[in-house]
Each structure stands twice: as structure tokens, then as C-alpha cells.
Structure 1
Amino acid sequence: MHWMYDVCMYVCLYLLCYIYVGMEPNIGDEGVVEEPKEGMSFSSIEEVRAYYTRYAKQVGFGVTKRNSKTGADGQIRYFTLACVRQGTYVSKASNILKPRPMEHNGCKAKINAILGSEGKFRLTHVVLEHSHVLSPGKARYIRCHKRLDESSKRKLEYNDMAGIQLSKNYNSCVAEAGGYENLTFGERDARNYIREVRLLRLGLGGAEALQNYFTRMQAQNDGFYYIIDVDDETRLRNVFWADARSRAAYESFGDVITFDTTYLTNSYKMPFAPFVGVNHHGQSILFGCGLISGEDTDTFVWLFESWLKCMNGRAPQAIITDQDKAMQNAIARVFPKSRHRFCLWHIMKKVPEKFGAYSQYDDIKSQLHRCVYDTLSRDEFNKCWLQLLDNFDLHDHSWLEWLYSERHLWVPAYVRNEFWAGMSSTQRSEGMNAFFDDYVNSKTTLKQFVDQYDNALRRKIENELAADFSSFHTQIPCITFYGIERQFQASYTNAKFKEVQEELRGLIYCCASLIQSEGGIFIYHVADQVQVIDGFRKSTKYVVEFNEIECEANCTCQLFAFKGILCRHVIRVLTLHDKEELPAKYILDRWRKDLKRDYTLVRSSRDDLSYSPNAYRMNKLNKAFYEISSIAGTSDDGCAKLLTQLSKLKLEWVEVQPVCDNRSTESLGVTKRSDKLKSPVAARSKGRPVSKRKQSSAEKAINRLKARKTQRAPVS
């Protein structure tokens, strides 16, 4: 008899739910949905669709609205909901040998609903039989059963803002749901939503969105600077921008910059041109950047002049670029007093290309490296270079001729007597480009790119703050008993003090011998062992001149002049003279940790991640609900109680409709214009190598589709 008791209890609970909730059992949110029958009544069209969709998902088919009839008052009087596989298939494929998958197969399953005199819709005709196999387990793939809820939207959107790749973004939703089968949307739905959201972040798209973004950033902080160059058709041509913090940081670290344009960033193929320096921790720091439509002298002149105006007319003391002639001409015009050098790495990486076919390639490469890296004076370099040409009969080699004519712009023996903050290449800029690889791809729009520039700034600032904390909170122990080391330990950041200690460790390989002494002036030969590669060392002699009265030393390695770090050869001589403290000129303010730098007090102008009022409200509600659910979820009773309360609340809010579009341009402070800025035309690159970034499956599919359309296009 126990089974009869259980049945009675079940019926009673079921009826109580029906009475309490106030809805018909066949459209409940949980449990089994009963099949449709003629005579069932519903209060609205939405209620009919919601019920039939739930039933369809339970059985394993999709639902579509087939036809309807509207009365004189504009209200729908009659409509039909049918299986998505109703109707017949008509092929639209241009190639009959490659037909597309078909969905329609003439299925007759449907329901008809008519509006009655009492204001309710009643089912008048029901067909349950399908002409195809039903699969409840696969119903989640049908479009009508896919739904991207607000919580998932917010998660996808914020992860996208953080620069997380879409595949990983979607996988986090899968993991949170406990498997693909528990998600109500697929990766394509997530991808489509993110694409839409990116376009809606400012309510506009393309170049006009970019301009509106800059306007809003400047309204937040008048230190934000931007300038846009357009052509006669008001089409975007070039753009430069820098936030307030970057401009302030330039005052401290703008003495040496690197500039490079080797990164084609978006679908318009506009080269990304960052101005990059190095801070007191040796980290890359951004001083603004541009997106340019060309790489000719006039374009670079425009960009450099814009940047110079942004930095209040203060030109950098030194600038590193690649060997681009147009760039070189523009620097000579805009920064005539700045020291300019070519990227050494760019030059030396071309050696295999220029000499790989020679039978004596290894010997040529070895002697060329000796000329570049081992010579300490200009005369020594010239002698070594002439020997290279003679040994291998390379006097007529055009590339070597050009290199020699420009030797004052790249050979270390010619340039290392000046301060370059330890940089000899544009790899700082290229490192910034690689940094952006985490965020952008070839399809990135202009506005998306600027969003990701904001993300890069956030990460760079956070990295610097973490390094500041490390230098103030921790201290690297000394490895010697010299007072000079303790002086650097107290003054320099941890990163720079490590470089000092690297020189101190090298003291064990240094042997100094006095060769001349006169009136307090001492000249030493310092022999050093330098490890070139594993298991191989080379011996080099350096000359150190020391003025004991002024406590001033110079070494032919020029490390202090080039990098601002005292070399081991000078330290060896100082220790021989029992010097325990250095003059202030050898402790550069640039590397100090105990200086308060003004730019750290400047707030960076950037988009607030919670700029959307709708997103702000959702975050507030999610936080409040999480606090309740974390308590209720500790027991089965608490979980059941909270679900019951939520069912009641859902009935109160189900009819509430949004009264406004929170993504309107007015709510975001977008300035309306009569002359709309047009997107740029695709730029032509200078034959740089194509990016090796892997394409996603979606990008490959788009490229194949474009290729087919191009092949089918009629020839005029």
C-alpha cells in the first residue's frame, strides 16, 4: 500500500504547485511537459510559443512560426507553430554537384491557435506525428533552443575586454556549466555575440566610433591627446593618441625611445607605430602610438610632428629605428638634434640572407661578427672591415657598401659612447607588438584595437607597480663587502641592482695592470674573460683611465656611457684604489628607486570596464545574488527554499519589459556630427613577412568563402 500513499502525495504536491504558481501544469519550468492537445488555452502568443518550444526540446525537434492572420485592430487572431523541418527544400547552390545540407523534409507536425472571445488563445488543431527521427539529446543544437542568458553575456563580454581568446572564453562557460550538454548556446553564438558587442560598445562602428572614443577620453581627462588626419573625402588616413600618464612618464624616461612599424594590425592593414621607452626597472613603457595608412616620408613627418606637439615640443635625445629611408628622412626633418641609430638586430639578421649562398658563409659570418662586436674604436673597426673585404673579395658587395656608408648609424664602436639606456635595437617596439598578439588579429577593427591598447596600458602599469613594490618591500643581499655595492643596493631598483651585481660577479675574471701614472692620472690595462657561447670564452683587454683627484674613470668598453651601469673594469680599478663611495654622477636618477616620480600620480585615461549602465546593474544584482546563493547552497533544504522563492519572484518580473536601450549614444556621451568620419582604405605594406599567427577555423571558413566569391565573380 506504500505505493498508493506515494502516488497520493505526488498528486497533492502537483495540485498545490498548480494552485500556488497560478499557471497551467503544461507550461511549468521544471519536470515533464505534457504533449499538446486540442482545447488547451493560453493567455498570450508568447505563452503558446514558450510552451510549445519547451515541449519540442523535450521531444527533440525545433519550432518555427509558419503563418498568422491579423484582425482589423492589428491584433493577431490566428497563427501556426510548426516543426522547423516543415516545407520542401529548394536548392540555391550555384554548383549542383556541391549541394548544401537541407533541413526541410515536409514534416507535418504543428499546432494551430485561435484567439477566442475571452481573450485567450486556444489550440484548435494539433499534429504530433513527425516525418523524421526525433532526438532530445541533440535538440540543444537547434536554433530555437539556443539562448544566451544575461549572466553568460556578461561573462563573455568581460573576458573579451580582458583580452581572453574567444575559444578559451567559451571553454570557461562550458566548465562552469559542467559540460557542453548543459549550455544553452554554442561557440558560434558566443562568437556572434562578441562580434555584436564590439560594434555596440560605442553605439557606432569604424572610424566614427574611434573618434567618439577619443572625444570621451579627453572629456574624462584633459591630458588625453589625440589627432586625426583625414583626406579630402573625410576618410581616416592617420591617427595618433597618447593618454595623460604616458605623456607624464615621457618627462622621466623620454631621453631614449625606439620606434618601429613592422606590425600590420587590422583589416585595413594600418601599421601600428608605438613610441616605446624603458623605465627605471628596465621595463618597456608606452609614450603614445599611431596608426598610419602609409610608410612614406610625409606620413612619418606628420606622425613625428604630432608626437612632438603632444610632448610639448620636447624631442627625444636619442631614437632607434630600423633602416627605413623614409623614416630616416623624417627624423632628420623633425628631430634634427636627436641622435639616431639603426636597429643592430635588424641588420645582423640579414646576414644569412645576404651570404647564405657563399661557400665561405661561416667564415664571412664569423669575421663580420668580430668587426661589429669585438672592435672598441672606430679605427679598429675600419681596419677589421677592410680586412673582411680583402679576405673574401667583397669590395663590390652592394649591401656591405651601404652598411659601411651608414656605419655611424649602427656600428657599436661609433654609437656606444652615447647614452642609449642599454638599448641597441627596436626589439622594445617589437616586444610591444608581440604583447598585442594576445589581443588582436587580422580582423580586428580600429575601435577594438584601441580597446586592447587600453588593456595593454593596464597590464604595463600593473607590472610597473608590482616592480615598485618589490624594490621597496624587498632587498637583494650584497655578494661582496665593497661599499660601492651597498651604495647601489640602497639607491637602485632591484632590476638594475641585479645588473650591477652581474658586473661585480665578473670581477673574478678581471686582472688589472698599471701601465702609466702621472700626477694622479692612472692608466690600466684590464684583461677580461667574456663567455660568448657555452664552453667558449674570449680574452679582451680594456683600457681604464682613472683620475684619482676627481674620482673619475673612463673605460674603452663604454658600458656606463651606453647603459648607465658601471662596468667591472672600472670597479676593479676603484677597488685597487680603496674607493668605498662613488660620486653622485655615477648613480643615475634614471635607475633610482627612492625618487617620487610625478607621472605615477597621473590617472590614465581609459575606458571604464563597467561603462554600460546595464552592465553595472547586472553586476550589482549578481553580487547580491551570489551572497544569498552561497548561503542557501550549503544544504538541500536551503537550496529548495531559495528556488521556491525565486519561482515566485520570476512570476512578478516575467512581464517587465526594458523601457530604454542602454546602449544609446546619448547615454554614453557620444558627440553627434554632421560630417561623419569614414573608415580608411586598406594600406599597402612594404613587403614585410606575413604574420605567422595561426588562423581560427572561423577565419579559414571566411577566407574560403571570399575566395569562392572571387572565382565566381563575372569578368568585365
Structure 2
Amino acid sequence: MVKYFGEAHNHPFVDEDDIHFLASSRELTFTHKKMLDDLANINIGPVKAFNIMRTMYGGFDKVGTTKSDCKNYKRSINLYIGDYDAEMAVQRLMAKKEFCPNFSCDYSTTTDGALKGLFLADEQAKMNFTVFGDVSFDATYRHNKIDNHNRNVTIGAALLGSETAESYTWLLNCFKKAFGYEPAIVVTNQDLAMKRAIEYVFSNARHRLCMWHIMDKLSRKVRSGLCNTTDFKTRLCDIVWTDSITPEQFAKEWASIMNDFQLNDHDWLKDIFHIRESWIPAYYREESMSGLMRTSCSSESENGFFWQVYNPRCTLVEFLAHFETALDHQRHEHRKNDHDCRYTRAATWSNFALEKQAAEIYTRTIFLCPIGNTSSSSQLHFHELRTRQ
């Protein structure tokens, strides 16, 4: 029974400028959650997402929620996913495969049901594989090709629990099943497990090694200061990064360089010379490599882009969302390059009929590749270029 009711407040009123601190004045609305989810797809966490909203709304008091509310929302999602992360990722991909007939997805599990391998490739990836030739396998998590704008185009992705010959063999079999045939040329780094898997699964493919990965080790392998204080590296690069010399010329100049710098007994240099036919362009001048010999270098650059929208702390479910976002961006850039080539023409720098014809045939990126100043040279240097699709 109420005997007395005091109408007067027994505490001071909250200042009007502080009302947004009260729990009753805060709510994480659908709009807030949607924005947090969308920003998470491009690897923007809840704290940065809140700061973006603060800027858009015009101040902390205008957002209607707090930084802690945003972090708690993110934590609640991760708690919901919990131990079912891999299962939810696989179910999502299997559902997509059911409703998208040209989407390929496969996975492998251990005897106790843990996910150990995941492969995916969509319809656009298969089309890219058909159009753009050969393939480079990047052991990070993707398969790459070079498009007609000399840019990387991703044709598939895989997650592996281990980098063993068995895991790579499973992956390459998935690739072959999804795309229907093996590539003519495969470029990788010097991963021995991948090499064994390629020999077993892609028995008809020509396996080449990435020049960039090998030459990137040069400064670390030879004695300190040799690359920086002498012309050793310059002379070596002159015979490595070219296909305008014969195998005999390469071998002769290599021997000369080794003699001049007393490196005839250097184990690593002897090893890479022994496998020269798998990575030196002089030994396969007639093969159309479509820029793939430096593809692993391009892959490193592409990895830098993918890492902007991915972090090692995210769940598998989040990874798939991040990957799809990055893939959309890559394909948007390819379409933009196609648009520029279709509706604009690169400016020519001479009146040569050959140059004008080349500007009509080749994509802008390929045409504008630096190949020397033809107007001031008495020689024409021909480079194999890919025609615009």
C-alpha cells in the first residue's frame, strides 16, 4: 500500500547536452546494423565504423548509439557464429551451388569432420579462364590470370589447412573438375609440394617458375654489398629479364658474370642455373606466356589489395564476404578498362600507320606499355601483344 508519493525529483536532471549518454536514449537501429555489416565487408571494424557514422551524422550526440554498442554488436555476431563457422560457410556455398548451376564449390574434411580444404569458382571466373589463357597459382589463397589489360584477374580461391602435396593434389583436381581441362602453362614459386602436385594432376601442362620470386632472393643469397656496390645485379638482370637473347648467349654471359665475381662455387646460383630452363625466358622464347612469368610478382601486389579487405582475425563467414567484395572491385576495374578501350582511343605520338593501326587493335593499357620511342629509333622492336576482346 502506497502511503506517500513525492512528486519532486530526488536527483538532478541530466543536462540536455548529455542526454545521448543515457541508455534510454540509445538504440542500435537496423540502419546502424546494416552500416556496420556493409563496412565490415571491406574490413572496417566497429570502432572505425562508428567514427564514420559520427562524421556522417554530424557529431557524437547525433549518432544515437555509442562505440561500445557497435563493438558489442560485432561480438554478438561472432558469439552466434561460434564453433559453427566452417559449417555455416560451407552451407552458404552449397546453397549458392544449388541455385547457381555454373558455380563450383568443393570441400574436404578430416576423419573427425574438421574442414581441411575449400575451393570455389563462379561463372565469371570460368569465363575468364576460357578467355585469358594460362594460369598462375599463388600459394597464398588464389589462382590468377592476366587479362587483356595486363591486370590480374582472379579465377578461383581455395583455403587449405596445410601446404602439402596431398592438399595441393586435391585442390588441382577440384580446379580441373570445375573448369573442365587443365591450363597449358602453370607458373608458381619454388614450392616443392605444389611442383609434385602439378606433375601428378596437370601432366600435360608446362610448369614454369616465377622469375620475380627467384630474383627477389638474389640480394639475400649473395655476399653482402655485392648487389649494391658493383654492377653484378645489373649485368645479371640484363640477361634474365629478356627474351631477345638465345640460350647459348645466356649461358655464355652467365659464365662470364660468375667468373668476374668469383661466384662459380656459389651453391644457390648453381642451383638456379641448373633449373634455368624453367624460369629463364631465353629458353622458351617461342612460348606465349601472356605476361605470366612475372605473374607471381603481380600476385604479391594483388595480395596487398586483398589484405586491405581481409584480416587474419575474421571468421570464415566474414572471409567469404570480404573476398566477394574484393572480387567485385577487381571486376569493376576490368569493366572500366573495357569501357575506356571501347569508347576512347589512346593518343599516338607519331604519324606511323603501324602505330595508328596498333592503337585501334590493342587495349589502351597494352598499347601504352613503354616499348621505346619509335620516332627516334632506327629499329622497330616487336612485342607480342594480346588483342582486345
TM-score (norm 2): 0.87
What is the DSSP-based 3-state SS (H/G/I as helix, E as strand, rest coil) of the residue aligned with 1:281? coil
**Does 1:281 pair with 2:161?**
no
For 1:158, give the aligned amino acid. Answer: D
Which residue pairs with 2:199 in the alignment? 332
CA contact (8 A) 2:239 2:245 kept: no
Give the equivalent residue in structure 2 for 1:259. Answer: 137
CA contact (8 A) 1:355 1:361 kept: no
Q: Deviations over 1:172-212 (max 9, x none)?
A: 21023321233332223213323444676x99941111111
CA contact (8 A) 1:285 1:460 kept: yes
Which residue number in structure 2 is paired with residue 171 of structure 1? 51
Q: Which of 486, 494, 501 does residue 356 from structure 2 map onto?
A: 486
Q: Secondary structure at the match of 1:437?
A: helix
- Aligned partner letter, 2:324: D
Pick aligned residue for 1:405 from 274, 282, 298: 274
90, 113, 118: which one pairs with 1:211?
A: 90
1:293 paired residue number: 161
CA 1:365–1:359 in structure 2 vs 1: closer, same or farther (change >3 Å)? closer
Q: What is the CA-CA distance between 1:137 and the residue it aligns to?
A: 5.9
**Equivalent position of 1:390 in the other structure:** 259
Q: Once the 2 structures are TM-superposed, how far is the Cα of residue 321 of structure 1 from its aligned partner?
A: 0.9
The answer as to whether partners of 1:199 and 1:205 remain within 8 angstroms in 2 is: no
What letter corresponds to residue 178 of structure 1 in structure 2?
G
CA contact (8 A) 1:157 1:197 kept: no
Alignment check: 8 A CA contact 1:160 1:194 kept: no
Q: Aligned in 2, Cα 1:393/1:481: closer, same or farther, shift over 3 Å?
A: closer
The answer as to 2:158 corresponding to 1:158 is: no
Q: Report the Cα offset of residue 467 of structure 1.
A: 1.8
Q: Would the aligned equivalents of 2:42 and 2:310 in 1 still touch at CA under 8 Å? A: no
- Please give the alpha-carbon distance, in whole angstroms, between the structure 2 residues aligned to 1:290 and 1:461: 19
**Native 8 Å contact 1:214 1:226 kept in 2:** yes
Residue 345 of structure 1 and its aligned partner are, at CA, apart by 1.4
Distance 2:363 2:224 in 1: 47
In the alignment, which residue of structure 2 is the partner of 1:55? none
Query: Structure 1 CA distance, aligned partners of 2:35 and 2:349?
Result: 49
Task: State the SS of the aligned residue for 2:156.
Answer: strand
Q: Match of 2:122, as an amino acid?
A: D
Percent identity over the alignment is: 24
- Classify the secondary structure of the residue corresponding to 1:222: coil
Give, in angstroms, the shift of residue 414 of structure 1: 1.9
> 2: distance between equivalents of 1:211 and 1:158?
21
My pick for the range that moved more, 349-358 or 217-226, is: 349-358
Q: Name the SS of the counterpart of 2:338 in structure 1.
A: helix
**Aligned equivalents of 2:4, 2:199: Cα separation in 1:** 86
Question: What is the Cα deviation at residue 159 of structure 1?
Answer: 2.9
The SS at the match of 1:229 is: strand
Secondary structure of the 2:291 match is coil
Deviation at 1:381, TM superposition (A): 1.5
Which residue in 1 is equivalent to 2:127?
248
Within 5 Å, give how 1:23-102 maps onto structure 2: 39=5
**Residues 1:376 and 1:164: Cα distance change in structure 2 (over 3 Å):** same
The corresponding residue for 1:454 is 324
Preserved contact between residue 258 and residue 428 of structure 1 (Cα < 8 Å): no
Q: 1:195 to 1:436 in 2, by over 3 A?
A: farther
Once the two structures are superposed, residues 641-668 of structure 1 have per-residue CA deviations (whole angstroms, 9 ceiling, x without a partner) of xxxxxxxxxxxxxxxxxxxxxxxxxxxx
Matched, 1:475 2:345: yes
Matched, 1:423 2:292: yes
1:421 is paired with a residue of what secondary structure?
coil
Q: Partners of 2:343 and 2:15 in 1: how far apart?
A: 62
Amino acid at match of 1:230: T
CA distance in structure 1 between the aligned counterparts of 2:170 and 2:107, rounded to whole angstroms: 10
Rounded to whole Å, the distance in 1 between the matches of 2:228 and 2:367 is 40
Letter in 2 for 1:478: T
Matched, 1:322 2:189: yes
What's the counterpart of residue 283 of structure 2? Answer: 414
Distance 2:149 2:179 in 1: 23
- Of 110, 114, 118, the residue aligned with 1:239 is 118
Closer, same or farther: CA 411–509 of 1 in aligned 2, 3 Å: farther
Q: Could you tell me how far apart the structure 2 residues matched to 1:181 and 1:38 are?
A: 38
Which one has the bigger strand percentage? 1
Shift of 1:142: 6.4
Distance in structure 2 (CA, Å) of the matches to 1:452 and 1:173: 21
Measured in 1, the distance between the counterparts of 2:360 and 2:11 equals 85
How far does residue 355 in structure 1 lie from its aligned partner after superposition?
A: 2.3
2-structure distance, mates of 1:362, 1:440: 40
The answer (yes or no) to whether the contact 2:106–2:174 under 8 Å persists in 1 is yes
Aligned-partner Cα distance in 2 for 1:453–1:220: 20
1:349 matches 2:216: yes
Residue type at the aligned position of 1:193: Y
Give the 3 Å change call, closer, same or farther, for CA 165–360 of structure 1 in structure 2.
closer
Q: Which amino acid aligns with 1:128?
A: N
Query: Partner of 2:300: helix, strand, or coil?
Result: helix
CA contact (8 A) 1:319 1:340 kept: yes
Question: Partners of 2:376 and 2:213 in 1: how far apart?
Answer: 32
- CA displacement, residues 561-581 of structure 1 (integer Å, 9 cap, x when unaligned): xxx23xxxxxxxxxxxxxxxx
Any idea what SS the aligned residue of 1:285 has?
Answer: strand
* Residues 157/361 of structure 1: CA separation in 2 closer, same or farther (3 Å cut): closer
Letter in 2 for 1:357: S
Contact 1:237 1:293 in 2 (8 A): yes
* SS of residue paired to 2:108: strand
Q: Tell which structure's C-alpha radius of gyration is larger.
A: 1
* CA offsets 1:489-542 (integer angstroms, 9 cap, x no match): 33322222323xx44x52234335xxxxxxxxxxxxx7xxxxxxxxxxxxxxxx
The whole-number CA distance in structure 2 between the counterparts of 1:195 and 1:209 is: 17
CA contact (8 A) 2:213 2:297 kept: no
Post-superposition offset of 1:140: 4.8
Change (3 A) 1:413 1:359: closer
Distance, in Å, in 1 between the alignment partners of 2:82 and 2:221 is: 51
Q: 1-side partners of 2:56 and 2:324: how far apart? A: 28
CA RMSD of aligned residues (A): 3.1
Instruction: From the superposition, tell whether residues 188 and 343 of structure 1 become closer, same or farther in structure 2 (CA, over 3 Å).
Output: farther
Gaps of 5+ in 2: none
Q: CA deviation at 1:275?
A: 0.9
Q: Give 1:222 shift.
A: 0.8
CA distance 1:282–1:390, change in 2 (3 Å): closer
Q: Taking CA–CA contacts closer than 8 Å with sequence separation of 6 or more, which of the two structures ends up with the larger relative contact order?
A: 2
SS of 1:365's partner is helix
Mapping for residues 532-551 of structure 1, pairs under 5 Å? none
Higher helix share: 2
Alpha-carbon separation, structure 2, partners of 1:386 and 1:315: 37
Pick closer, same or farther for the CA change 1:340–1:359 going to 2, 3 Å.
Answer: closer
Q: Verify the 8 A CA contact 2:43 2:311 in the aligned structure 1.
A: no
Using the alignment, how far apart are the partners of 1:171 and 1:506 within structure 2?
A: 50
